[in-house]
Structure 1
């Protein structure tokens, strides 16, 4: 892929919190920054990815079926610590090249989700590598790519909206059974939503309740909605966990979750963003 094309995607990605058009429109996309194996320079590449649960994602070194591995793959083999940008979060990760059955199982899931990967493999004699990027836990809060607390809330919410829209699309295109990767996509989304709401319940909401007592009714409603949404995600996970999950049933549960979550996110943005982004008064805590 030409460098000028990559740079255009990178700039658009960073300017729009991970949302791009053109070739990558509607795809799961990250920016992967590696250290050059020979030059030592930092190199950033836009890549499609698949959720892998537990704070990890998978990327595939297909290079469009080229006979050679892509440069970014050689770089991370030489220096496994990499930087991942999701559009909302930036974090350090450790790259692990999957081997044996782990590689084959992950690649099979990718092929099940998109037959193009099988075409790439058929077009080259090399075994296309699959790489797991494991987030390295850091101290302090996550590194959110936003200039204010209000913008951070909106960016995180929009990321959930985009992922849920992708899942709904994938379920709509599913056949008689639910694919393994789609199951993981759903479970990863549910876990991410749980982590986000837990963080709000333990961090942002108590802070706001202390600083802005007039927000108490809104915060109480938001906490109640967290409980309701947790019940919906639990039902979705139960449906997905059955041996022969019916895509139609899964779709019904996802639509129920979508309706409740969209109403919740909209209400939270209406109530909290104006407060979070309001100019600080002389007695406010920075």
Structure 2
């Protein structure tokens, strides 16, 4: 990809909260900013990514099938610190180059999901490096606007992930590939952690400040339990030796219906209270 092509993608990505058209439309894309190994200047590149457990994501140094490793990869070898932009969040990350069986397993998942990765490796006549990017923090990245904006941004991230997974399930054919399983399980883990944090920290804090919210918070906790059962059902489908895409699609749709309604309901009841807390603190 030329610098001009990258520049247009980067501008579109930042202007549209991570959504772009062209060859990346409807795909998984991040912007990765590294420090130039020779220049020390920031270098931003749009890259396809693969989710993994926790908040780790993988990127592949394909350079479009070039025999030479891309600049961003050489930069990470010199300095593994990087900035990742998802369109909804920007966070600092640390890169780890995978090797051996770990690298091969991730690359195999990538090829199963998109054979183009194997074509790039064949064209490059080199083993394409696989890089893991891990956030340099725990929990979701912070955003401007305080807890109210943070809640909406986290919810939007879940909405977008559901949109991506639904499209991936629809395109999966009759069987469920290993990477799609990972994507779904990562979503389950993220939702479980998010709701546990709300139950244990956010909701008690709001109850102390706004006793009138007690009934609403009880309803939201009940909704968490409904979603937890749906996540368990989704995990059960994924645990089958050969899960079919039809069964997976049905569970993803059930989850989507309940979760989107819950996210909307939670924002309706809590965003104003969270904004008031921020205003009082300031």
TM-score by length of 2: 0.92
Contact 2:146 2:278 survives alignment (8 Å)? no
What is the match of residue 223 of structure 1? 221
What is the match of residue 61 of structure 2? 61
Displacement, 1:247? 1.6
Determine whether 1:108 maps to 2:108.
yes
What is the match of residue 99 of structure 2? 99
Contact 1:146 1:155 survives alignment (8 Å)? no
Contact 1:88 1:145 survives alignment (8 Å)? no
Contact 2:234 2:252 survives alignment (8 Å)? yes
What is the match of residue 143 of structure 1? 141
The root-mean-square deviation of aligned C-alpha atoms, in Å, is 2.0
What is the match of residue 26 of structure 1? 26
Displacement, 1:258? 0.8
Q: 206-215 or 106-115: which moved more? A: 206-215
Rounded Cα–Cα distance in structure 2 between residues aligned with 1:199 and 1:218: 17
Structure 1 unaligned segments of length 5 or more: list them. Answer: none
TM-score by length of 1: 0.91
Displacement, 1:119? 1.7
Please give the per-residue CA displacement for 1:47-97, whole angstroms capped at 9, x wherever unaligned. Answer: 110012133111011111112111000000111122222233333322121
Please give the per-residue CA displacement for 1:173-205, whole angstroms capped at 9, x wherever unaligned. Answer: 223321000000000011011111122222222
Rounded Cα–Cα distance in structure 1 between residues aligned with 2:231 and 2:2: 41
Contact 2:34 2:83 survives alignment (8 Å)? yes
What is the match of residue 262 of structure 1? 260
Cα–Cα, structure 1 residues 246 and 142, in superposed 2: closer, same or farther, change >3 Å? closer
Cα–Cα, structure 1 residues 242 and 205, in superposed 2: closer, same or farther, change >3 Å? same
Cα–Cα, structure 1 residues 71 and 280, in superposed 2: closer, same or farther, change >3 Å? closer
Displacement, 1:279? 8.6
Cα–Cα, structure 1 residues 234 and 280, in superposed 2: closer, same or farther, change >3 Å? closer
What is the match of residue 183 of structure 1? 181
Determine whether 1:192 maps to 2:187.
no
What is the match of residue 242 of structure 2? 244
What is the match of residue 274 of structure 2? 276
Q: Counting helix residues as a fraction of each chain, which structure ranks higher?
A: 2
Please give the per-residue CA displacement for 1:1-51, whole angstroms capped at 9, x wherever unaligned. Answer: 233433343344334433333332211122212111111122222211001
Q: 219-228 or 9-18: which moved more? A: 9-18
Rounded Cα–Cα distance in structure 1 between residues aligned with 2:20 and 2:211: 39
What is the match of residue 206 of structure 2? 208
Q: For residue 43 of structure 1, give the secondary structure of its aligned residue in structure 2.
A: strand
Q: 170-179 or 234-243: which moved more? A: 170-179
Runs of 4+ in 1 over 4 A off after TM superposition: 278-281
Displacement, 1:117? 1.1
Rounded Cα–Cα distance in structure 2 between residues aligned with 1:170 and 1:42: 33
What is the match of residue 170 of structure 2? 172
What is the match of residue 89 of structure 2? 89
Displacement, 1:132? 1.1
Contact 2:140 2:154 survives alignment (8 Å)? no
Cα–Cα, structure 1 residues 20 and 276, in superposed 2: closer, same or farther, change >3 Å? farther
What is the match of residue 37 of structure 1? 37
Q: For residue 33 of structure 1, give the secondary structure of its aligned residue in structure 2.
A: strand
Structure 2 unaligned segments of length 5 or more: list them. Answer: none
